């Protein structure tokens, strides 16, 4: 059998403990943070690029599907091995290879945990802005493959804005090296940007060169509670008219506030319909304090605001930011199933989207939580339902499609940061019409003519049916 031949062949150059085939241990590699799961036939743990290259060559020779996997925190099912085959996981390629303070770059292997890089940089007074809320579990390889966002993206940009070099292995087993430590590079097509955000469908990332920054010395956090969610969205639009560029502007609705307050047992105002969290950072204490004062006054005078608070110190600010980071885990802890629309709209459309979601008609059994990186126009609209109840399942998907259609009608995107993977794939034609999807498929075919790398993602299968 082809798969046994494949296993025998990779066994010639990998150690026994680098190849996992027993079902109990394989279940660990069968899921991510969505509700999807599928068991692979094997999981392989390479230790270096040379091994990745040889594994990919064997996959190509024996027509074995490969799904790259990072921390499995993905929220679109990208790391789920839907067609079986092999999972390529990187816990043994987790070294920070270099922190180059002279040029301000870090060079990392794909399995480095996001938070480990942050800690290493923090010790030197440096930082790498892209830090998703999943920081303790997600990997740099996964973040680059998803072009991950995070709370500070509104000021600092997304992961793609920091990737300057990539080493990757193509499905054929060839290794390519792109870019490096230059800040400017326009030699040929921008394949670094193409691979960044390609969700493991074009190439396997084996080394990443990332731009890093000096950590801002001063930060201030403002918390505003409002009695109306649409007014909160209006306030967020108004913040950006002041000319001040906050590094984070986040929104939480009453379900998010109440759920996370209970989950973490922290004193948030549970009577509020909405909470807006704003952070300003910089290197000058006077400048940051002036901006904080101006935004504090703006919040206080905004329609619907009934309380505004300036965090007394970084420790208190961290508690507020923890509450934002833990919204999704707290919603999951309610024990319901959830569908999440990671939609992004032009920022001035935010109040319209929020109003649309609030006015959606649905049965009492379902609940819709709205929170997210609202400063970017990016909301995570999370529908809580019971998958085993078919009426609730149908209703949840009906609501999801309504939200997607409205987002596209507003000139928005079906996913702001979590990617297409499995969960958005069926709806992608709503946003990408005409020749766009076929052109993307031709790009995929150019990288992966046999269709072996992360199959069943991004592009709808030939049956065209919706996958739930
Ligand atoms: C609690 C929580 C909070 C979150 N917060 C955020 C947030 O603030 N911002 C945000 O953008 N996302 C967030 N996410 C989603 C998720 O954490 C990100 O998408 C993250 O970047 C995924 O990284 P990962 O290492 O877990 O990748 P995985 O989930 O393992 O994989 C994600 C994709 O990357 C591919 N991949 C992984 N490694 C490689 C590689 N070496 N080469 C090629 N492809 C590869 C996989 O095939 C898959 O398609 C959150 C998730 C959770 C559960």
Atom of ligand 1 nearest to the CA of 144: 21
Q: 2-89 domain in CATH 3.30.43.10?
A: yes
Can you give the pLDDT at residue 2?
82
Most ligand 1 atoms within 8 A of CB, residue of 30, 66, 75, 113 to mutate: 75
Q: Which of 279, 284, 285, 286 is nearest to 244 (CA)?
A: 279
Can you give the pLDDT at residue 464?
59
Q: Which of 348, 152, 357 is nearest to 274 (CA)?
A: 357
For ligand 1, is residue 118 a contact (CB within 6 Å)? no
Report d(CA 106, CA 164) in Å as an integer.
10
What spacing in Å lies between the alpha carbon of 363 and ligand 1's midpoint?
32
What spacing in Å lies between the alpha carbon of 136 and ligand 1's midpoint?
12
Give the chain's count of helices (H) and strands (E).
Answer: 16, 18
Q: Which of 155, 156, 176, 158 is nearest to 166 (CA)?
A: 176
What spacing in Å lies between the alpha carbon of 344 and ligand 1's midpoint?
18
Say if residues 277 and 253 touch (Cβ distance below 8 Å): no
Extract the tokens encoding 121. Answer: 């940089």
For ligand 1, is residue 200 a contact (CB within 6 Å)? yes
For ligand 1, is residue 142 a contact (CB within 6 Å)? yes
Residues paired with residue 96 on neighbouring β-strands, in sequence order: 108
Q: How many CB atoms lie within 10 A of CB 420?
A: 24
What spacing in Å lies between the alpha carbon of 74 and ligand 1's midpoint?
4
Can you give the pLDDT at residue 463?
59
For ligand 1, is residue 144 a contact (CB within 6 Å)? no
pTM over 0.85, yes/no: yes
Residues paired with residue 223 on neighbouring β-strands, in sequence order: 277, 309
Most ligand 1 atoms within 8 A of CB, residue of 30, 47, 66, 69 to mutate: 69
Can you give the pLDDT at residue 35?
78
Residue with tokens 């509104």: 154
Report d(CA 20, CA 303) in Å as an integer.
58
User: Any idea which architecture 218-328 has in CATH?
Assistant: 2-Layer Sandwich (3.30)
Determine which residue's CA is closest to atom 21 belonging to ligand 1. Answer: 143
Extract the tokens encoding 43. Answer: 């999981």
The three-point CA angle 375-380-382 to 5° equals 155
Say if residues 52 and 13 touch (Cβ distance below 8 Å): no
Averages of pLDDT over each 10 residues, the chain, 468 residues = 91 98 95 93 98 98 97 97 97 98 98 98 97 96 97 96 98 98 95 98 98 97 98 97 96 97 96 98 97 98 97 95 95 92 97 96 95 95 95 96 98 98 96 96 98 95 63
Q: What is the CATH number of domain 96-214?
A: 3.30.465.10
Task: Map out the domains of the chain as residue ranges.
Answer: 2-89, 96-214, 218-328
For ligand 1, is residue 90 a contact (CB within 6 Å)? yes
Report d(CA 64, CA 74) in Å as an integer.
23
Atom of ligand 1 nearest to the CA of 111: 41
Say if residues 321 and 219 touch (Cβ distance below 8 Å): no
Give pLDDT tens digits for 332-391: 999 889 999 999 999 999 999 999 999 999 999 999 999 999 999 999 999 999 999 999
For ligand 1, is residue 378 a contact (CB within 6 Å)? no
Q: Which of 382, 408, 409 is nearest to 75 (CA)?
A: 382
In sign, the C-alpha dihedral spanning 440, 446, 450, 454 is: negative
- Domains 2-89 and 96-214 belong to one CATH topology: no
């Amino acid at each position: 059998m082809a798969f046994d031949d494949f296993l025998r062949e990779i066994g010639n150059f990998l150690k026994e403990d680098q190849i996992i085939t027993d079902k109990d241990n394989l279940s660990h590699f069968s899921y991510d943070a969505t509700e999807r799961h599928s068991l692979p036939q094997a999981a392989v743990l390479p230790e270096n690029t040379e091994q990745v290259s040889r594994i990919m060559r064997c996959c190509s020779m024996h027509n074995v599907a490969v799904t790259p996997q990072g921390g499995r925190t993905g929220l679109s099912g990208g790391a789920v091995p839907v067609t079986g085959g092999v999972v390529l996981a990187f816990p043994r390629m987790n070294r920070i290879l270099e922190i180059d303070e002279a040029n301000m770059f870090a060079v990392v292997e794909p399995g480095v945990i996001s938070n480990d890089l942050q800690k290493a940089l923090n010790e030197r007074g440096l930082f790498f802005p892209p830090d998703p809320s999943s920081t303790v579990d997600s990997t740099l390889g996964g973040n680059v493959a998803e072009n991950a966002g995070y709370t500070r993206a509104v000021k600092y940009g997304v992961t793609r804005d920091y990737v300057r070099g990539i080493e990757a292995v193509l499905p054929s087993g060839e290794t390519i090296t792109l870019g490096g430590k230059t800040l400017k590079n326009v030699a040929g097509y921008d394949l670094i940007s193409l691979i960044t955000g390609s969700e493991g469908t074009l190439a396997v990332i084996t080394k990443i060169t990332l731009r890093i920054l000096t950590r801002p010395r001063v930060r201030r956090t403002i918390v505003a509670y409002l009695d109306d969610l649409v007014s909160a969205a209006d306030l967020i639009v108004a913040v950006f008219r002041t000319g001040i560029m906050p590094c984070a502007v986040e929104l939480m609705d009453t379900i998010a506030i109440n759920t996370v307050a209970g989950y973490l047992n922290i004193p948030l105002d549970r009577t509020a319909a909405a909470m807006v969290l704003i952070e300003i950072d910089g290197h000058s204490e006077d400048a940051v304090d002036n901006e904080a004062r101006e935004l504090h006054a703006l919040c206080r005078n905004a329609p619907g605001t009934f309380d505004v608070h300036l965090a007394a110190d970084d420790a208190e600010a961290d508690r507020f930011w923890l509450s934002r980071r833990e919204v999704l885990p707290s919603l999951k802890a309610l024990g319901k199933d959830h569908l999440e629309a990671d939609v992004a709209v032009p920022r001035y459309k935010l109040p319209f989207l929020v109003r649309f979601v609030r006015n959606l008609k649905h049965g009492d059994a379902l609940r819709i939580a709205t929170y997210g990186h609202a400063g970017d126009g990016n909301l995570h609209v999370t529908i809580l339902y019971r998958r085993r109840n078919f009426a609730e399942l149908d209703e949840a998907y009906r609501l999801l499609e309504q939200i997607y259609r409205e987002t596209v009608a507003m000139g928005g995107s079906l996913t702001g940061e979590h990617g297409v993977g499995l969960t958005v794939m069926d709806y992608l034609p709503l946003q990408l019409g005409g020749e766009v999807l076929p052109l993307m498929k031709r790009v995929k075919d150019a990288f992966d003519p046999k269709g072996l790398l992360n199959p069943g993602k991004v592009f709808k299968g030939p049956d065209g049916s919706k996958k739930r």
